[in-house]
Structure 1
């Protein structure tokens, strides 16, 4: 119908542009392009400044936590002899590398620090028979446990948390940049609709 304004079509996607094109004078550069460029720069600077600080703070806190944990474990755990109460299963491939790494859970008797004999469960090598003795870590009440954290494990876990903190800061910055870009993109489309509403009548109204 003559005089009807056709719907605005979104502008085509941006063509390949040289690096830092938003910083160069250009008659087609929009104010939102400059805004996005400055915001991107701000996010980059913030990430580069905050990520190392976050990594140090989180890593230091994690190291302190795991050092306290290791200290408590050393105070509440000890090694003792444990006697198997039954035979451990035999591995289907005797002598293989897999057999050397495999462990089976069995019930064992241990003597607690206060002299009581109790039964707990631990993992042992395949093929051990009842009556064999293995060396295990137990808690004060004789419950089988993992060995206390070593310095290497404390350092490794602290570094892991530090790395996660740095990655978290970087991901937060990337998400903020992406959301800002999306908001600016929507704003550009709204401005395109307004401009089209002003221009289209001159193209569609018969003279």
Structure 2
């Protein structure tokens, strides 16, 4: 005996289910419609907020790091330093690892104020005592990193812009979750109130 094939749901059923909060029906609560409007509002806010946040945060980060780079360029000096002792040899000379390896070695150098100083800096393996290396020094005589380059400033600004773009949807989702939680609590309070009115009618007196 052949089984009867259940009728397929028409394609329009799916949109009707997804948009049930927008359709008038006796079961729809005011909070359901409020939840739908909140979802739409937050969705539009996120769409508009992502490019706005990227521009504002990225521009602010670019200005900040651009000013930092300018200050570093004005207060850091490229000078020569002489190794006090030999730098360690890498266990695998000539390898790719050896080409990237750096060792801390004591060096002598003259700071911008004309004082001779001794400090440690990173140098390539196997350099001998007396070898000369180039270092960056602050006005007060401390060895430091080179000033930020234009590419580094741009990359840092882009990083902050991407982080801002990522934070907007997360903030939108958190806001929707909070609103949904508050509406749920409101619904529970309404149910409790309604049940308090209805319960006596279901209770039989003895």
The two structures have a TM-score, normalised by structure 2, of 0.81
SS of 1:135's equivalent in the other structure is strand
Counterpart of 1:77? 76
Size of the aligned set, in residue pairs, is: 191
Q: Check if 1:117 corresponds to 2:120.
A: no
Q: Check if 1:28 corresponds to 2:32.
A: no
Contact (CA 8 Å) 1:120, 1:142: kept in 2 or not? no
Q: Which runs of 5+ in 1 are unaligned?
A: 1-16
Report matched runs for 1:8-157 at 5 Å.
Answer: 18-157=17-156
Measured in 2, the distance between the counterparts of 1:74 and 1:57 equals 26
Measured in 2, the distance between the counterparts of 1:184 and 1:69 equals 47
Measured in 2, the distance between the counterparts of 1:67 and 1:50 equals 25
Contact (CA 8 Å) 2:109, 2:117: kept in 1 or not? yes
Contact (CA 8 Å) 1:110, 1:142: kept in 2 or not? no
Counterpart of 1:8? none
Deviation at 1:43, TM superposition (A): 1.6
Larger mean CA deviation between 131-140 and 32-41 belongs to: 131-140
Measured in 1, the distance between the counterparts of 2:204 and 2:33 equals 36
Deviations 1:156-198 (A, max 9, x none): 1112222223333333222221111001111111222223333
Name which structure has the greater RCO, CA cutoff 8 Å, separation 6+.
1
Larger mean CA deviation between 89-98 and 99-108 belongs to: 89-98
Contact (CA 8 Å) 1:86, 1:131: kept in 2 or not? yes
Counterpart of 2:180? 181
Q: Which runs of 5+ in 2 are unaligned?
A: 1-15
Measured in 2, the distance between the counterparts of 1:141 and 1:206 equals 92
Contact (CA 8 Å) 1:86, 1:129: kept in 2 or not? yes
Deviation at 1:98, TM superposition (A): 2.2
The two structures have a TM-score, normalised by structure 1, of 0.80
SS of 2:65's equivalent in the other structure is helix
Measured in 1, the distance between the counterparts of 2:162 and 2:25 equals 41
Alpha-carbon spacing, 1:82–1:32, altered in 2? closer, same or farther (3 Å): same
SS of 2:18's equivalent in the other structure is coil
Measured in 2, the distance between the counterparts of 1:81 and 1:38 equals 66
